[in-house]
Amino acid sequence: MAKLSIIIPVYNEKLTLPEILKKVNKVPYEKEIIIVDDASSDGTSALLKGMNDPNIKIIYHSFNQGKGAAIRTAKAHVTGDVVLIQDADLEYDPKDYPILLEPILDGRADVVYGSRFLGGPHRVLMFWHYFANMLFTLITNILYNINLTDMGTCYKVFRADVFKDIKIRSNRFGFEPEITAKICKKKLRIYESPISYSGRTYEEGKKITWTDGFAYIVSLIRFRFCD
């Protein structure tokens, strides 16, 4: 059985982190959990320092750098065979791990994206957020000649050797288009699997904003033509 490395970037998730860790620990795989605390200021750091679990590696950033930087930090600590990105905010449910891992474990895929738009149950929320996701995915498909349905999904799963071979430059939410661009340019085998999705409102703590949309578009174009 392959060992799963689960990367959890964390920034001000004191209220949801214990629950997501409980859900992650329930999945029936050999695993390591790599948490990068991106200089949280809400008590998350103190919560993490009180944990004593040999399967959890915790790394602390001295100042806030963003999701991409947190994943780049975690990358150096990966020892598993498969790498999965997990947000800490309960929007994505670890019960979907089996359907995400299947195409990699049976040798069909190098990378699997968990799509929020392939028919899984999802919370009905903001139209403009949904529209932006569709727009960024359309731009991705045009630039890279693919047919993704959800470029911006958190659930991206990689063979570990593939993940380690990709240089991550983006510090913040530009990570999503950058990693997608580099996967496409390497002509890796990409699969999508339907997942459930329980999105948050901004009042509930959602962090990505319309300004991050510009970073998405710039990154998609930039990494189409350079590394």
CA–CA gap between residue 11 and residue 24 (Å, rounded):
18
CA–CA gap between residue 207 and residue 172 (Å, rounded):
11
Alpha carbon separation from 84 to 24, 37, 132, 214, 226 (Å, rounded)? 11, 17, 24, 26, 26
pLDDT at residue 124, rounded to an integer: 64
Write out the two tokens for 217. 């578009």
pLDDT at residue 43, rounded to an integer: 94
pLDDT at residue 125, rounded to an integer: 65
Q: pLDDT tens, 110-127?
A: 999 999 998 766 666 667
- Identify the band that residue 219 occupies on the pLDDT scale cut at 50, 70 and 90: confident
Q: pLDDT tens, 161-216?
A: 999 999 999 998 789 999 999 999 999 999 999 999 886 555 555 556 666 667 77
Q: Where are the alpha helices (DSSP H) in the chain?
A: 17-26, 44-49, 67-75, 97-105, 127-144, 160-164, 175-185, 210-225
In 3-state terms the chain splits into helix, strand, coil percentages (rounded to 5) of 40, 15, 45
- Identify the band that residue 217 occupies on the pLDDT scale cut at 50, 70 and 90: confident
Map out the domains of the chain as residue ranges: 4-225
- Identify the band that residue 133 occupies on the pLDDT scale cut at 50, 70 and 90: confident
pLDDT at residue 182, rounded to an integer: 95
Task: Give CATH superfamily name and number for 4-225.
Answer: Spore Coat Polysaccharide Biosynthesis Protein SpsA; Chain A (3.90.550.10)
